[in-house]
Amino acid sequence: MRTIVTYDTHHGTARRLAKIIADKLACTMIDVDTPYMAEDETSYDAIVLVFGFRGPYTAQLTKLFLNKMQGKLKNKHVIVVGEGIFSDKEFPGVAESLKNLANPYTFNSYFTKGELRMSTLTFEESHLLGDFAKLTGMTLTDMGEFKEEDGQKIADDIAEYLSKQTVIEDKKEKRWICSICGYVHSGDNPPEECPTCHQPGSVFKEMN
Ligand SMILES: Cc1cc2nc3c(=O)[nH]c(=O)nc-3n(C[C@H](O)[C@H](O)[C@H](O)COP(=O)(O)O)c2cc1C
């Protein structure tokens, strides 16, 4: 399974989680903001998207995130991993809207607790979180370190999930035409002999 992990982070936690997952899957990881990707990500079978929650902007930002990945998720195994303060309650809603936007081949989602340090927040973030606290009734305090073992658990689950999925084959079958009689054959290679005019396979030409 050719897999890539992409992440969107503001304070580095999603990057740490992405690293644990990419290490487990032994695959490349990349910041979603990287303008140039060395490898063509359309060649991957599976994409894991990791992002930190951002209060009321979460849905908006994840849509932006998906737009950046536009066309790269269709017909792929897509796994989204959200990390935030608490909230596996709001995550299924976000995951569902991502699923609809991504048009994936298969879809799975995971949520884990992130990390929050009040002292590292910008002025704007403090305000945003203040509103979030009012909305949820939560008292915001430092959450302590992001737990590596939580990340490890998700990485293990993703590895197991992907091991059960099939590699997506290019559905387009090659077609070959006999240049003598026009007989059309479908398959990876031309037939050994044309079944109608009995010319050798070498007279077949691949059709576009
Ligand atoms: C501005 C802001 C808004 C946040 N909103 C949410 C939220 O709506 N739900 C949630 O569970 N966590 C929320 N969090 C917590 C972050 O998701 C958590 O700190 C996460 O680990 C940040 O990921 P990052 O370090 O990759 O940016 C918020 C944090 C910030 C700074």
Q: Per-residue confidence of the chain (208 residues) as pLDDT tens digits?
A: 889 998 989 999 999 999 999 999 999 898 887 765 545 556 788 999 998 888 767 767 777 777 777 667 777 899 999 998 876 677 777 788 788 877 788 999 999 999 989 889 999 999 988 888 888 888 888 888 899 999 999 999 999 999 999 876 655 567 888 999 988 887 888 999 999 899 999 999 987 6
∠187-188-189 over CA atoms, to 5°? 90
178 vs 30: CA distance, rounded Å: 46
Q: In testing the pocket of ligand 1, which one of 7, 58, 132, 138 has its CB within 8 Å of the most ligand atoms?
A: 132
- Quickly list H helices, 41-113: 58-68, 91-102
Which CATH number is correct for 175-207, 3.40.50.720, 3.30.1370.100, 2.20.28.10, 3.40.50.300?
2.20.28.10
Could you give the residue range(s) of every CATH 3.40.50.360 domain in the chain?
Answer: 3-163
The superfamily (CATH) of domain 3-163 is: Flavodoxin domain (3.40.50.360)
Pocket of ligand 1 contains residue 87 by CB under 6 Å: yes
Could you give the residue range(s) of every CATH 2.20.28.10 domain in the chain?
Answer: 175-207
Residue 86, number of CB atoms within 10 A of its CB = 14
Q: Do the Cβ atoms of 170 and 6 come closer than 8 Å?
A: no
